[in-house]
Structure 1
Amino acid sequence: MSTPQNLKLPIPDVLASAICAANRLIQRLAQPWLVQLVLRLAIAVPFWKSGILKWHGFLQLSDTAIDLFTQEFQLHLPGGPYPFPAPAVVAFLSACGEVTFPVLLVLGFGTRFAAAGLILMTCIIELTVPDGWPIHLTWVAMALAIAAWGPGRVSIDYLLGDRNARW
């Protein structure tokens, strides 16, 4: 007869094997080039969606975009909030950045520049919508990762020679 001390439970071994197999699968799927591509797409989407709504035609801002920067958006600085200086110019620059930077990111062209532009834009957005910091922090983290590790193999920058990924 077996004593309880001699019984070997197969469940921990099966569980350990399943965890190891899952880890190997995740490591195979989460290749750096794929992670870099997904980061570029993930941060491009919200900026593109916001930017495209600001245009009424080619280089023609919608009235709504100008109204937002004139009447709604305020800079939340100490002693403020304060209105945006030159709201039509700020609206135009914002709309240009929100459309141009995502396109650059998706193509992987001027990727680090585009990521830096989105970091700057996110800082300004944070001053405008301070309660949005959880999502803004996520955007900055994604843009910093792109700036630090580069566009990855699936990019025009890589084809042009930007292979300076920092690991």
Structure 2
Amino acid sequence: MNIQTHTQAASLLILRLFVAYEFWEAGVEKWRGQNWFADIQQKFPFPFNLLPADLNWQLATYAELLLPIALVIGLASRLSAIALTILTLVAWYAVHAGLGYNIGNGGYKMAVIYLVVLTPIILQGGGAWSLDSLLKQKFKWAKFF
């Protein structure tokens, strides 16, 4: 690998680790906390507003616990980043949209940061320092990763 490949791999790894930590932390909070989704269920965008609040809570919790692990090891990085993007957009819409940009007011600033961090992972994948890269080298069907 040349220096540019190492630089890109390091950059994507840093983004993966940062966003994985942030979502993992949120997942642990949900795991240990009370389900408050029933209070905002009517604010969820379609089709999530059709699902029971308990199911949405479980989907969010497990997504925030499992997808960060996939990002850390670089497995299905693009798919994980897409799923976390959807989760972030739902949270922005249902929780943060009407509260402005400021984090202190419960605003959407962190949602924007997460979306910015997830975008390069969606566009480029996990990078050379990922399990995706190893799978691409070994299996032709893994080109999407």
The aligned residue for residue 65 of structure 2 is: 99
**AA of the residue aligned to 1:150:** G
Higher fraction of helix: 2
State the TM-score, normalizing by the size of structure 1. Answer: 0.66
CA RMSD for the aligned pairs? Answer: 2.6
Which residue of 52, 69, 80 corresponds with 1:86? 52
Unaligned runs of at least 5 residues, structure 1: 1-26, 57-61, 78-82
The aligned residue for residue 34 of structure 1 is: 10
The aligned residue for residue 133 of structure 2 is: 158
Instruction: Work out whether residues 84 and 90 of structure 1, in 8 Å CA contact, stay in contact via their aligned partners in 2.
Output: no
Query: How far has the Cα of 1:84 moved from its partner?
Result: 7.6
Query: How far has the Cα of 1:74 moved from its partner?
Result: 5.7
Percent identity (aligned)? 24
Greater shift, 108-117 or 149-158, is seen at: 149-158
**Number of paired residues?**
125
CA distance in 2, matches of 1:69, 1:76: 9
CA distance in 2, matches of 1:43, 1:74: 28
Higher fraction of strand: 1
CA distance in 2, matches of 1:133, 1:74: 19
Tell me if 1:45 matches 2:13: no
CA distance in 1, matches of 2:78, 2:125: 6
The aligned residue for residue 80 of structure 1 is: none
Describe the shift of the 1:76–1:143 C-alpha distance in structure 2 as closer, same or farther (beyond 3 A).
Answer: same
SS in 1 for 2:108: helix
Tell me if 1:75 matches 2:43: yes
Indicate the structure whose relative CO is greater, using CA pairs within 8 Å and at least 6 residues apart.
2
**AA of the residue aligned to 2:117:** M
**AA of the residue aligned to 2:116:** A
SS in 2 for 1:53: helix
Query: How far has the Cα of 1:133 moved from its partner?
Result: 2.1
CA distance in 2, matches of 1:76, 1:163: 34
Instruction: Work out whether residues 70 and 84 of structure 1, in 8 Å CA contact, stay in contact via their aligned partners in 2.
Output: no
Unaligned runs of at least 5 residues, structure 2: 100-106, 137-141
Q: Which has the larger radius of gyration?
A: 1
CA distance in 2, matches of 1:122, 1:86: 19
CA distance in 2, matches of 1:34, 1:74: 41
Instruction: Work out whether residues 37 and 152 of structure 1, in 8 Å CA contact, stay in contact via their aligned partners in 2.
Output: yes
The aligned residue for residue 108 of structure 2 is: 133
Summarize the alignment of residues 108-119 of structure 1 with structure 2, pairs less than 5 Å apart: 108-119=74-85
